[in-house]
Structure 1
Amino acid sequence: MKRILPLFFFLATAFLKLNAQNIKIQGFVADQNSKLPYVTISVKESQKTVSDANGHYSLFVPKGSPVNLKAYAVGYKVQNITLNGLDRDTLLNLILQPEANTLDNVVISATRRPEDIRNIAASVTIVPRKKLEMEMAINPDLSTILANQVPGFAPSAQTGNNVGQNLRGRPMLVMIDGVSQSSPLRNAEVDLRSVDPSVLQQIEVVKGATAIYGNGAAGGLVNYVTLVPDTAARFAGKTQVSLNGSLVKPKNSVGGRISQMFYGKVGKFDYVASGTYEQTGEYKDAKGDVVGPNYSLGETDTYNAFAKIGYQPAKNQRIQLMYNLFSSLQNSNFTLVNGNLSTGQKATGVLGKPLGKPTGVDYNHNLHLSYKIDSIFLNTSLTADAYYEKRQDVFYVSLGRFDGGDGQSLANNDKKGARLFLQTPLLENEFVKANLSYGLDFLRDKTSQPLVDGRVWVPEMDMSNLAPFAQADVRILKDLIFKTGLRYERVNIKVADYRTLRISGAGGTTITPSFDVKGGNLKYGTYLFNAGLKYNKLALFSPFVSFSQGFSVMDIGLALRDAKVNSIDKINTDAVLVNNYEAGFETRYQDLTFTASAYTSTSKLGIEVVYDPATDLFNTARSPEKIYGFELTAAYNLMPSLQLGASYSYTEGKRDINNNGKYNDPEDMYLNGRRIAAPKVTGTVTYSPLKVLDLTLNYTGIGSRNRFQKNANGIYNGNEGAVKAYNLFSFAGSYQIQKGTRITLGVDNIFNEDYFPARAQWFMQPGFYSKGRGTSVNLGISLSY
């Protein structure tokens, strides 16, 4: 006891002395409307804190020393404050100003932790909440929003699925808060419509192959980030109501949308709860005719229920539970009238009850539990989460195709997983700052595609995926950033014995007979490497270079359903390994921001869906692939009330048919339209003449692409159609009548362009040869309280 008392006295004295040398700065962070949660506040980047759900923050700084304080958050200008030496605790409230065109955002998906976008050695596009609201005022379809806002993203088909709408010519991983909505086992190409945009805080798009999330991210990733409460009040809410319809022939085209949201903070808890319902009327083209009903978004009922509860047991910890249910089914009153590819006659519909079940997303459940702690040992932060997703999609009825009869298929997906992510600071001084991120991902994914009547078309595939990874980030002299990482993918897929369905052609002739296929286990194991370098010293020229690898077990379901052999070990189910090389730069000069990037993506074994005119079926072709292209973006603040933006993206790709490492031989072929999109140009003008008034004019131009010859019948084969250019303009206006009350007006296809969307042109399928939607209007009102 005599020894313990002096030791206790010594420690207590040292503690008091240490705290006497530090000054506490505290306060809140807000904008012009409310306090802001989760804003990052740093001191010389050596100490960081984040405002809590109420917008409050606190940190300690040395007594008597000058302090350089920096506060930044998504969609706001960075605020830098210099304080002279302080000798007492200080109250400092920070007011952030919105920034319309900013690249100083925080992106989560690129490195699985909040990070300044300028420190990412890759092409990243952020669609912030403000732009989402502008796009939703015109059209709330996420596939259209992404096509308008993200360079390198293929054009929207304006339908319930996203066939051919990929990222830089390769499939991407679609996620909600980092939880995959995609399945590499059976790419049903419907995952972009997984959630309603009304519950999103922002969308993050990372382009090019990425090893950060592994399996399925061969072309990059799209992460839908859900809302967090933006108020310190115990109870707040927002009600939105809108009406939409065609201006060409309004009869039966009127639809409506209603959304109700509640949010707030009670003690250490914060919450958001939202419900949305939308019903669309008939979609009309520029001539006033009904758009072909195959997967049309006309006459569609959409539901979304969302809830998120957060709890902070301590300032450095957070527990969060999120649930989302999304459903979007087409209940059409029209049956399909096929188009005529040789004459250019469009597909449309006639009154009549369609066969089978309503098509679209029957349901998509997402449940996600996460726990975060800032410091556990050696200043290590930890994030652990578990998730569950269950989804079913309904496809159209194929007439006379299966065993001489009709058939309608379902895509079922049952996914559960857990992840552990840690970050440990390795070194920090005035010259070098280094961090190590590491962890483990586990995924169990069961996928199948039966017919509605119970027949098996694609058998159940049960995938287990275990992937440890590590990523090092080194910052030298603050401006040179080097990143490198390694991930190991171990995948095991169990496939039961199954029997293929007999596929019929015209007149009931057998194209593919029915036979038994022996199942088994498919095993994969591969290392994925990435490295990137970024230099931020000069605002006029901030370059980056990167190399990253992506991995996908391809669309195994497609290969299994089209089996020509009696055992899966005889089917080519080799994985796709992608090497992505990219270089680019960013230029900032006064109110101008300009970015440019060029990329090349190669794979020794790709997967191309090609059309066989002899059987009228699509099959897979596997050969080496090379995809290349470039993207340009510009944003300019002409004046505080007027902002301009533009982008241009170009992608091309070829197959090495003779597998000799070259892509310019006569037999080598271009990748078809399902993979490679036509060039795209976008433009935006945003004008805010009054504080309460925002006006936006958007332009999207799709260029031409013609890489294939017509067949003996004088038309193009499926997926190889020539794309003719078209130009679309849209308008969004927002006016604040009074505080908390705002009206919006959106007009899509202002000049009533009469056109076939790009997919209708290259797909070359009579049932999908539909025109795009003509001029439509969306009028809404929102009440915040």
Structure 2
Amino acid sequence: MIKNLLVPLSFLLIFFSQTHGQNIKIHGLVTDKNSGIPFVTIEANKSLKTQTDTKGHFTLFVDAGKPVVLKTLAVGYKSLNIELGALQRDTTLNWVLEQENNTLENVIISATRKPENIRNIAASVSIVSKKKLESEMTINPDLSTILANQVPGFAPTAQTGNNVGQNLRGRPMLVMVDGVSQSSPLRNAEVDLRSIDPSVLQRIEVVKGATAIYGNGAAGGLINYITLIPDTAAKFAGKTSVNLNGSLINPKNSGGGRINQMFYGKVGKIDYVASGTYEQTGEYKDAKGDVVGPNYSLGETDSYNAFFKIGYQPTKNQRLQLMYNMYSSLQNSNFTLVNGNLATGQKATGILGKPLGIPTGVDYNHNIHLSYKIDSILLNTSLTFDTYFEKRKDVFYVSLGRFDGGDGQSLATNDKKGARIFLETPVLQTSALKATLAYGADFLKDKTAQPLVDGRTWVPEMDMTNLAPFAQASITTLKDLIFTTGLRLEHVNINVNDYKTLRTTNATGGTLTPSFDVTGGKLKYKTYLYNAALKYNHFELFSPFISFSQGFSVMDIGLALREAKVNSIDKINTDAVKVNNYEAGFQSTYQNLTFLASVYKSTSKLGIEVVYDAATGLFNTARSPEEIYGFELAANYKMMPSLEFGASYSYTEGKRDIDNNGKFDDGVDKYMNGRRISAPKITGTVTYSPLSVLDLTLNYTGIGSRNRFEKNSAGVYNGNEGAVKAYNLFSFAGSYRANKNTNITLGVENLFNQDYFPARAQWFMQPGFYSKGRGTSINLGLSVSY
């Protein structure tokens, strides 16, 4: 039983303990036969704790003459206990850990911006491990699909190039790569999930609920893509992976392929990873063998990813790291859209022909990230400094007859530069009370705009400067009671130049919104964000937590600016959204069973829901107070070493206070629509390894029904308010290790060829997006390591 867990980032206690008279040093290396294992937790006599560095080295000080029992805890490895007896001199100890399947209790995450054991986090977190990523990629490498299958509370996928309606618990989330934001609250283009290829990820960390420590844009939580680190001590190693995929229902023109080449290794104090990926998909076919509607379809898409990371460790307690990632994914379709019919249920599809406009998707997304970390400076303080740059362009579909009586195709541009400093200092360490203080500041410069491809301005450039100092304290008392609290101060300035709105028209050319000049200016925001949480870890059978956290996001400023009905931005409602998130839950571990449960409520005095205006046929923003609530359940059971089960259930509901009287149950109050609140979701997984070289996985994702709105006078639902009918999807992943270096995989998506409309197609209620889901498809893969 794991007891007496101490404050995170505990390798700093090495230095602190020296000041308290502990004078026997235990040091060494923890490996997995091939290389050092980073961030292994090493516990001494259930009262002292440290972690290995990025190379697997550790140092720990204990009292002389007292018996010592050491225990290891590491992600994906079996724990190991060693009794050393009473030590009289410094000791060198090297361990070799045995790998095992990841469990929920041992995963280390960075929810608090530093390595942390999941048992110490007083919030709902989900980890998509490297093993789960590889299993999902065997079926489909689309990250929006992987997250929908693996993360409770995350909305179902639409199998398209954008992630409209995919959020966390009904609120927008912050998508990051190694802590660098890929999202922009200035204009939420809802394309940020597809920012990187999953082949270069070590894991995905998902923190649900408003989070104050990351600030602007994280009102619903965060998704952090953690990139690869070398897993070998060799100077040069590599892996080549090739995949072929296509429809099993109608194979004609559906064939696609994917190739990834990766090199990695360690040379002296330098480690590196370099990867290149190219993927081309064929035509996507539904369960009837027909072409899936081409609007944002992932069919006929060319994707590229180039990734490079190099690390330099001059000493054991320092690391300098540079990462570059480029991602592009553009649809080059041979089909023009045939709209669906919402009244009759006729699906959208395509006919051969050149689509209007330029290819849609991620034109480019460049990320450069430089970080420096030192484990101990003044007062045993650790320091991490980051600087980063991101530049991306996304292209959207052509809107027919919308602008000045003609067609228009928009794109979103985003240019970020930023820097962060993060420090942590051990404040107190006694037998009864231990405390650390984390503090720092984030600086971000974000320029975002949404012009049309032909050069006309739809959303003017918004230039945001965001400075946010913060402090976070962590206190452990009674050995197992962990209390965290923190404060963040957001300073946001947004500059907008004078601009002219675009005239929009209806199908007959009539004016819906006129064109007029708008005076620009500066928008200023300043607010405090507070968080507090409590968790008790004494019993593995019942480890409860409660938390309160505030989130903040400048509303979708770009959407408000392009919809302007007044001649100055200081007259437009651009108030920010501040969210209060309340949550309670527990983790329970009994032998090979782990169970997680949480309930939550999220409130805000202002919301930002995109609602449909039947009079104009346009989507506008509603700024009513909001209340969202729900619960999540997750379980994992390892029946035997070769057989494991997993399941989850998530439910979310939300309402708007239309009359702004502080109540959400009046007759005029409304449920939030499908774009914000997803239908209930249930997932299940069975993993079976009958042989040491064979892994078989069966996945299930079920989307429940949700019907909260009435049909309009035309007999159909308004946009974003469509009723969702339940559907059930199964998939299969198989992996066979032919020899030490060769792996063969087989993935089957939609195993039983369910004929269905994805949830988004049902609630969106737009004829061009009323497409069926993909039918049964196959993915064959071969990978060779060397």
TM, length-normalised to structure 2: 0.96
> Alpha-carbon deviations, 1:9-38, whole Å to 9, x = none?
xxxxxxxx9999855444432236654344
- Counterpart AA for 1:549: Q
Tell me if the contact between 1:106 and 1:114 (Cα under 8 Å) persists in the aligned partners: no
Cα distance in structure 2, aligned partners of 1:217 and 1:361: 22
Return the offset for 1:150: 0.3
Show the counterpart of 1:588. Answer: 589
Alignment partner of 1:671 is 2:688: no
* Equivalent position amino acid for 1:219 in 2: G
Which residue of the partner structure matches residue 417 of structure 2? 416
Instruction: Quote how far apart the aligned CAs of 1:590 are.
Output: 1.0
Per-residue CA shift, 1:334-392, capped at 9, x if unaligned?
A: 01000000000000000111111100000000000001011111111010110000000
- Check conservation: 1:37, 1:229, Cα contact below 8 A: no
What does residue 275 of structure 1 align with?
A: 276
- Report the Cα distance in structure 2 between the residues aligned to 1:283 and 1:84, rounded to whole angstroms: 64
Residue by residue over 1:263-301, the C-alpha shift from the partner in whole angstroms, topping out at 9 and shown as x without a partner, is 111111111111011000000000000000000000101
User: What is the distance in 2 between the residues matched to 1:44 and 1:487?
Assistant: 36
Asked if 1 retains the 8 angstrom alpha-carbon contact of 2:77 and 2:102, the reply is: no
Would the aligned equivalents of 2:41 and 2:52 in 1 still touch at CA under 8 Å? yes
Q: Report the Cα offset of residue 89 of structure 1.
A: 4.7
Matched residue SS, 1:707 = coil
Are the equivalent residues in 2 in contact too, given 1:281–1:300 (CA < 8 A)? yes
Corresponding position: 1:523 with 2:524 = yes
Residue 354 of structure 2 corresponds to which residue in structure 1? 353
Partner of 1:439: 440
Preserved contact between residue 156 and residue 165 of structure 1 (Cα < 8 Å): yes
User: Does the CA contact (< 8 Å) of 2:385 and 2:420 recur in 1?
Assistant: yes
Alpha-carbon distance in structure 1 between the residues aligned to 2:713 and 2:622: 22
**Counterparts in 2 of 1:59 and 1:586: CA distance versus 1, 3 Å:** closer
SS at match of 1:506: coil
Looking at structure 1, the residues matched to 147 and 464 of structure 2 have their Cα atoms a distance apart, in angstroms, of 30
Deviation at 1:105, TM superposition (A): 3.7
C-alpha separation between the residues in 1 aligned to 2:170 and 2:510? 36
Contact between 2:625 and 2:660, CA under 8 Å: does it hold in 1? yes
For 2:6, the equivalent position in structure 1 comes to none
2:106 is equivalent to residue 112 of structure 1: no
CA contact (8 A) 2:34 2:232 kept: no
User: CA offset at residue 541 of structure 1?
Assistant: 1.1
**1:148 maps to which residue?**
149
Q: Which amino acid aligns with 1:369?
A: L
Where does residue 536 of structure 1 map in the other structure? 537
Equivalent-residue separation in structure 1 for 2:37 and 2:782 (angstroms): 24
The offset of 1:59, in angstroms, is 4.2
2:529–2:550: 8 Å Cα contact kept in structure 1? Answer: yes
Summarize the alignment of residues 549-588 of structure 1 with structure 2, pairs less than 5 Å apart. 549-588=550-589
Partner residue, 1:484: 485
Aligned equivalents of 2:37, 2:539: Cα separation in 1: 31
Structure 1 residues 687 and 32: alpha-carbon distance in aligned structure 2, compared to 1, 3 A threshold: farther
* Partner Cα separation in structure 2 for residue 78 and residue 181 of structure 1: 36
- Corresponding residue SS for 1:767: helix
Deviation at 1:315, TM superposition (A): 0.8
- Aligned CA distance change for structure 1 residues 153 and 409 (closer, same or farther; 3 Å): same
CA distance in 2, matches of 1:428, 1:636: 37
CA contact (8 A) 1:54 1:232 kept: no
User: What does 1:746-785 correspond to in 2, within 5 Å?
Assistant: 746-785=747-786
Instruction: Summarize deviations over 1:215-260 as a string: whole Å, max 9, x none.
Output: 0000000000001111111111111111111100011111011101
| Superposition pairs of residues 737-748 of structure 1, within 5 angstroms | 737-748=738-749
- Deviation of 1:586 (Å): 1.0
Which residue in the other structure is 1:722 paired with? 723
Give the structure 2 partner of residue 238 of structure 1.
239
- SS state of the match for residue 529, structure 1? strand
Going from structure 1 to structure 2, the CA distance change for 1:426 and 1:20 (only over 3 Å counts) comes to: closer
CA-CA distance at 1:96 after TM superposition:
2.3
8 Å CA contact 1:633, 1:646 repeated in 2: yes
Q: Secondary structure at the match of 2:763?
A: helix
How big is the shift at 1:104?
Answer: 2.9
Q: Deviations over 1:648-697 (max 9, x none)?
A: 00000000000111111111000000000000000000111111111110
Q: Do the aligned residues in 2 keep the contact of 1:217 with 1:552 (CA within 8 Å)?
A: yes
Cross-structure match for 2:178: 177
Offset of residue 513 of structure 1: 0.7
Q: CA deviation at 1:539?
A: 1.4
**CA offsets 1:599-621 (integer angstroms, 9 cap, x no match):** 00000010110001111110011
What code does the residue aligned with 1:631 have? Answer: E
Structure 2 CA distance for aligned equivalents of residues 321 and 482 of structure 1: 34
Aligned equivalent of 1:139: 140
1:11 aligned residue? none
Residue 658 of structure 2 corresponds to 657
Could you tell me which runs of 5 or more consecutive residues in structure 1 were left unpaired when the two chains were aligned. 1-16
Which string of whole-angstrom CA distances, capped at 9 and with x for unpartnered residues, describes residues 186-215 of structure 1?
Answer: 000000000000000010000000101000
Q: Distance in 2 between the 1:51 and 1:536 partners?
A: 23
1:449 is aligned to 2:435 = no
Tell me the residue number matched to 1:14: none
- 5 Å-filtered alignment, 1:610-625, equals 610-625=611-626
Q: Counterpart of 1:134 in 2: which secondary structure?
A: helix
Other-structure match for 1:13: none
Q: How does 1:96-495 map to 2 (within 5 A)?
A: 96-495=97-496
CA distance in 2 between counterparts of 1:540 and 1:99 reads 22
Q: Deviations over 1:127-182 (max 9, x none)?
A: 11000000000000000000000000000000000000000000000000000000
Partner of 2:707: 706
Please give the alpha-carbon distance, in whole angstroms, between the structure 2 residues aligned to 1:21 and 1:379: 16
**What SS does structure 2 have at the residue aligned with 1:759?**
helix
Amino acid at match of 2:419: A
Contact between 1:53 and 1:265, CA under 8 Å: does it hold in 2? no
Which residue in the other structure is 1:6 paired with?
none
Amino acid at match of 2:688: Y
Distance 2:23 2:690 in 1: 47
Amino acid at match of 2:210: A
Structure 1 residues 152 and 544: alpha-carbon distance in aligned structure 2, compared to 1, 3 A threshold: same
How far does the alpha carbon of each residue in 1:370-416 deviate from its partner, in whole angstroms, 9 at most, with x for none?
01011111111010110000000000011111111111101000000
Q: Distance in 2 between matches of 1:519 and 1:416?
A: 23
Partner amino acid, structure 2, of 1:178: G
Distance 1:75 1:337 in 2: 48
Query: In 1, Cα distance between the equivalents of 2:751 and 2:256?
Result: 19
In the alignment, structure 2 segments of 5+ residues that lack a partner are 1-17
Q: 1:389 to 1:433 in 2, by over 3 A?
A: same
CA contact (8 A) 1:337 1:348 kept: yes
Measured after TM superposition, the shift of residue 627 of structure 1 is 0.2
Q: Could you say if the C-alpha distance between residues 552 and 502 of structure 1 is closer, same or farther in structure 2, counting changes exceeding 3 Å?
A: same
Q: What amino acid is aligned across from residue 713 of structure 2 in structure 1?
A: A
Cα distance in 2, alignment partners of residues 569 and 72 from structure 1: 55
Aligned partner of residue 92 in structure 1, secondary structure: strand
Change (3 A) 1:356 1:574: same
Tell whether the 8 Å contact from 2:109 to 2:118 is kept in structure 1 after alignment: no
The amino acid that maps onto 2:530 is F
Task: Give the drift of 1:60.
Answer: 4.5
Match of 2:4 in 1: none
Q: CA RMSD in A?
A: 1.7
C-alpha separation in 1, matches of 2:45 and 2:525: 46
Give the deviation of 1:72 after TM superposition: 2.6
User: How many correspondences in the alignment?
Assistant: 769
TM-score, with normalisation over the residues of structure 1? Answer: 0.96
Match of 1:600 in 2: 601
Instruction: Show the counterpart of 1:9.
Output: none
Alpha-carbon distance, 1:545 to partner: 0.4
- Counterpart in the other structure of 1:3: none
Spell out the pairing of 1:84-95 with structure 2 (5 A cutoff): 84-95=85-96
Residue 378 of structure 2 aligns to a residue whose secondary structure is coil
Match of 1:509 in 2: 510
